[in-house]
Structure 1
Amino acid sequence: MKWFPRILLTRMEGACVTDLKPITALGASSARVQSMGSLTLCETPDLAFASLALRRGQGVPTPFGLALPQAGGFVGQNGLGAFWTGSDQWMLCAEGRGDSDFAADVRAQAPGCSVTEQTDGWAAVDVTVADDAQMQTLLAKLVNLNPEFLSPGHATRTGLHHMTVFVVRPNTTQLRVIGMRSLADSLWHTLATTAKRLGVSSRPQAQSPN
């Protein structure tokens, strides 16, 4: 996964040298996970992002075999996904590739397109629930959107408290909320607070020390 380094100084042979320690967007050495009854929040630091935009006159590519979706859509397979972000623009994501040059892989799959590395700019939290009914209850408290906009296989950009986020629903029981990395703590707090309002108890899971 691609981490932001924590800078420490280690004294060696009479001099101080930089000792880099990787941390997640939430400031720990491993992903934060918190269960609240049948609902689970999970930070996803190993998720890679790259934006893709068509240039004038280009056809729509199929990177990694993905048929890039229309407005409001999401497609995914084998740990790879793509969602629409604007006219002739998409965000691609890949699980387990946060420490790789994912943008270079996307460029190779979509020659001539404008591709930009986005991994370091975003933080994502996956929300997993028991069933569609619980998801609908969560969405009603989380965002002011028509439920049809976030049915399985859809994605949208919306406001969440003071933040602008992408909300992606890969399947019936999973929701992925993507916000600016600099607001990762606020994003987690908002999701955890909303989950608690569903009336389930909180049970934080073990996390490695900072």
Structure 2
Amino acid sequence: MSDAAMKSDAAMKPGWTPRSAWAGILSEGAFGAKGPAGVIAAAREGLGIASLIAPEDGEAALSQAVKTRFGLDLPTTPRTAASAGRALAWAGPGQWLLVTQNRAGFADDLQALSGLAAIADQSDGRAVLTLSGGRIRAALAKGCMIDLHPSAFPVGSAALTSIAHIGVHLWRAEDGPNGAVFEFMVARSMAGSFWSWFSASAAEFGCQVTLARDCANGRG
């Protein structure tokens, strides 16, 4: 190929700009009922997310590696384990999600577990919301089939379920100033559909939406 042809080919390639999973879907601010917001939705950005699947008879070796590197025990029931900006969420028998607060060192984390599990980086394939507020359980009860009462779903609980025909991975984080805190994760391609359901459910109680700066700018 001639130099001219190569330059022409390069010029025709589109320039890709990273976009938040919530870009064009969420708008920062309040909506729904007036007054203090009963529901608070915060978009999560820049997370490191990877699925881990232990091979047959390989869970013990993976568990030891996770314990050594992160100081965490692999949950063997629908639970999460978290410390120092990292969390492991149960995702089924022999399966987990590794979630980090940012992607600094994330590649090194995955490399350290290489050979001990089937690993797939899901960082750009998932959309995550932190949901809280005094009426969050009432809003979620309109479509979530999981009993989120504290006695049935205490801090650290995790679940895989379906909401509005959308697969959802959720877990309960440590309580915050607005009470119970839930992390909700869906496939990026379903972010708009999930928000359509959730925003309609939360409007009755008033909802405050907060966006990370990159999310507000359309970048992830």
TM over 0.5, yes or no?
yes
SS of the aligned residue for 2:109 comes to helix
Query: In the TM superposition, what whole-angstrom CA distance separates every residue of 1:75-128 from its partner, at most 9, and x where no partner exists?
Result: 11222111111112111101122xx67355233046522222112221111112
* Residue equivalent to 1:75: 81
* Residue equivalent to 1:169: 172
Does structure 1 conserve the Cα–Cα contact (< 8 Å) formed by 2:47 and 2:99? Answer: yes
* Residue equivalent to 1:91: 97
Q: How many residues align?
A: 189
The alpha-carbon deviation at position 53 of structure 1 amounts to 1.8
The alpha-carbon deviation at position 170 of structure 1 amounts to 1.1
The alpha-carbon deviation at position 55 of structure 1 amounts to 1.9
Does structure 2 conserve the Cα–Cα contact (< 8 Å) formed by 1:34 and 1:42? Answer: no
* Residue equivalent to 1:182: 189
1:140/1:111 Cα in 2 relative to 1: closer, same or farther (>3 Å)? same
**Structure 1: 5+ residue runs without aligned partners?**
1-14
* Residue equivalent to 2:157: 154
Does structure 1 conserve the Cα–Cα contact (< 8 Å) formed by 2:44 and 2:128? Answer: yes
- Pick one of 198, 214, 217 that aligns with 1:191: 198
SS of the aligned residue for 1:96 comes to coil
The alpha-carbon deviation at position 16 of structure 1 amounts to 5.6
TM-score scaled by structure 1? 0.75
Over the residues paired in the alignment, what is the CA RMSD in angstroms? 2.9
SS of the aligned residue for 2:124 comes to helix
SS of the aligned residue for 1:182 comes to helix
**Structure 2: 5+ residue runs without aligned partners?**
1-10, 32-36
Query: In the TM superposition, what whole-angstrom CA distance separates every residue of 1:159-192 from its partner, at most 9, and x where no partner exists?
Result: 1002011011112321111111111111222222
The alpha-carbon deviation at position 156 of structure 1 amounts to 0.4
Question: Equivalents in 2 of 1:205, 1:90: separation in Å?
Answer: 28
* Residue equivalent to 1:10: none
Mark the structure with the bigger radius of gyration. Answer: 2
Tell which has more relative contact order, 1 or 2 (C-alpha 8 A, sep 6+).
2
* Residue equivalent to 2:118: 114
SS of the aligned residue for 1:112 comes to coil
